């Protein structure tokens, strides 16, 4: 097992991040439910975006609305807080009000819904992923596998704390991160535990799965590469700040950011650092890569473009100086555009030209 160390001394995480994570760092305390923010997925030429108000399908080229769910505001369905998960002929979305809704990808018409009957609170943390005819819905500290066609519960698994990150899925095994510091490998068909291991810090995001390795960010200032068959370390890269987001894995490199605003590029095989760069704020989401450019968004409203090979800054901009306080979702890069969802922004979704950051179009927020 290889351990690679950060080249610079640790600097304190900014106060607003500490406020969010304070309970995570205290032994024996449960974390606060994370704030609801928009989350997006690219599918079949459309940006699917879930916000606290609704789920929208937006044409990726023009920004025109294709459909919306629900058609009118419905307080029973609001507080959507996960990126839509796409699996065959279903889109599934989850709400902090403890429900999962399956939609038709072409029309947004509801196919089924599942409401969690067992949570003690009215609002719970939720995460969601989908693969092989199943949707994996983590609500509070319970993960359930739901049949993608009708919402029937196939099996369930209880964690030691809340699930903030969605499971990473493969054909036969799913890998489930938990805020109790544990990563659990479960049989996708039955939910049976295959192996489980602990980390020094909580796991707030989905691990990246590539070939026979998982790449796991932790709230202990480290990124781990672990073996999918047994959970043992392949290498560990120590970081300046907590690693919240899911790493981006390419053929030979891994890109990720931390809550101190440092962006890293490391060798996929060894974990050795190739370059690091500094952004303007905490990085929570997964970087986006298209061609030779790497894109990162920060929680204080900035968008950064770096040269993916060297880490040299290409451009940066403040997305919405008046309103976009926090960019917390992962950017999406495709077709020469960069798609960014904004929490508390003047617009819900922005499409920027990758070469310059110039706005191509934006999707207005819902007006009541």
Reported as a single tens digit per residue, the pLDDT across 106-139 is 999 999 999 887 654 554 566 778 888 889 988 8
The residue length of the chain stands at 368
Q: What is the pLDDT of residue 27?
A: 34
Residue-wise pLDDT tens digits, 310-343: 999 999 999 887 766 678 889 999 999 999 998 8
User: Structural domain boundaries of the chain?
Assistant: 2-22+33-272, 287-368
For strand 193-198 and strand 288-290, is the pairing parallel, antiparallel, or unpaired?
A: unpaired
Lowest mean pLDDT among 95-99, 220-224, 235-239: 95-99
In whole angstroms, how large is the CA radius of gyration of the chain?
Answer: 19
Above pLDDT 90, what percent of the chain?
65
Which class does domain 2-22+33-272 fall in? mainly beta
The 3-state DSSP class for residue 80 equals strand
Query: How far, in Å, are 18, 25, 192, 203 from residue 181 at the CA level?
Result: 18, 11, 19, 6
Residue corresponding to tokens 């029937």: 152
Contact 55, 108 (CB under 8 A): yes
What value does the mean pLDDT take over residues 86-100? 84
Query: How far, in Å, are 42, 174, 206, 251, 274 from residue 89 at the CA level?
Result: 15, 21, 23, 30, 41
Q: What is the pLDDT of residue 37?
A: 67
Dihedral (C-alpha) 277, 282, 286, 287: value to the nearest 10 degrees? -30
List own/partner pairs for 115-121 with CB under 8 A and 24 or more apart. Answer: 116/140, 116/142, 116/144, 118/142
**Residues facing 99 on adjacent strands:** 95, 115
Count the neighbouring beta carbons within 10 Å of the beta carbon of residue 230: 10
Q: What is the pLDDT of residue 119?
A: 53
Note the pTM of the prediction, 2 decimals: 0.88
For strand 208-210 and strand 39-43, is the pairing parallel, antiparallel, or unpaired?
A: unpaired
287-368 classified as CATH 3.20.20.330: no
Tokens of 101: 């809704």
Query: How far, in Å, are 51, 166, 169, 195 from residue 232 at the CA level?
Result: 37, 21, 18, 10
Count the neighbouring beta carbons within 10 Å of the beta carbon of residue 210: 17
Contact 95, 81 (CB under 8 A): yes
Tokens of 271: 């974990």
Helical residues (DSSP H) of the chain, grouped into ranges = 15-25
Residue corresponding to tokens 């690679």: 4
Count the neighbouring beta carbons within 10 Å of the beta carbon of residue 14: 16
Check whether 170 has a pLDDT greater than 60: yes
The 3-state DSSP class for residue 264 equals strand
Query: CA 313 to CA 62: how far, in whole Å?
Result: 28
Residue-wise pLDDT tens digits, 229-286: 999 999 999 999 999 999 999 999 999 999 999 999 999 999 999 999 999 999 999 9
- pLDDT-derived band at 3 (thresholds 50, 70, 90) equals very low
Q: What is the pLDDT of residue 283?
A: 96
CA atoms within 13 A on the CB side of 20: 17
Residue-wise pLDDT tens digits, 16-55: 343 444 434 433 333 333 445 678 999 999 999 988 778 9
Q: What is the pLDDT of residue 147?
A: 92
Residue corresponding to tokens 């309970």: 23
CB contact set of 23 (below 8 Å; sequence gap of 6+):
29, 30, 31, 32
């Amino acid at each position: 097992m290889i351990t690679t160390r950060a080249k610079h001394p640790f600097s304190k995480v900014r106060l607003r991040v500490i406020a969010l994570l304070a309970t995570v760092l205290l032994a024996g305390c449960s974390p606060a439910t994370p704030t609801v923010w928009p989350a997006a997925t690219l599918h079949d030429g459309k940006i699917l975006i879930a916000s606290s108000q609704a789920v929208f399908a937006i044409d990726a080229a023009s920004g025109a609305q294709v459909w919306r769910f629900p058609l009118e505001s419905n307080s029973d369905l609001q507080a959507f807080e996960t990126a839509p998960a796409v699996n065959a002929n279903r889109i599934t979305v989850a709400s902090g009000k403890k429900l999962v809704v399956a939609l038709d990808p072409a029309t947004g018409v509801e196919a089924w819904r599942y409401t969690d009957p067992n949570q003690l609170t009215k609002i719970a943390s939720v995460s969601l992923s989908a693969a092989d005819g199943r949707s994996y819905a983590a609500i509070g500290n319970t993960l359930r596998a739901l049949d993608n066609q009708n919402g029937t519960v196939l099996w369930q698994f209880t964690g030691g704390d809340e699930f903030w990150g969605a499971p990473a899925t493969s054909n036969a095994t799913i890998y489930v991160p938990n805020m109790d510091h544990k990563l659990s490998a479960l049989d996708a068909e039955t939910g049976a535990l295959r192996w489980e291991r602990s980390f020094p810090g909580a796991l707030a995001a989905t691990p990246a799965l590539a070939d026979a390795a998982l790449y796991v960010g932790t709230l202990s200032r480290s990124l781990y590469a672990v073996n999918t068959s047994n959970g043992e370390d392949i290498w560990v890269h120590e970081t300046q700040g907590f690693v919240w987001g899911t790493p981006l894995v390419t053929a030979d490199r891994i890109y990720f950011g931390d809550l101190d605003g440092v962006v890293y590029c490391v060798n996929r095989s060894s974990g050795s650092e190739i370059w690091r760069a500094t952004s303007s704020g905490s990085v929570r989401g997964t970087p986006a890569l298209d061609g030779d450019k790497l894109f990162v968004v920060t929680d204080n409203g900035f968008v950064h473009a770096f040269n993916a090979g060297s880490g040299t800054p290409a451009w940066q901009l403040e997305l919405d100086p008046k309103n976009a306080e926090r960019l917390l979702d992962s950017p999406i890069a495709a077709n020469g555009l960069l798609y960014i969802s904004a929490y508390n922004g003047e617009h819900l979704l922005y499409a920027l030209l990758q070469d310059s950051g110039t706005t191509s179009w934006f999707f207005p927020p819902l007006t009541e």
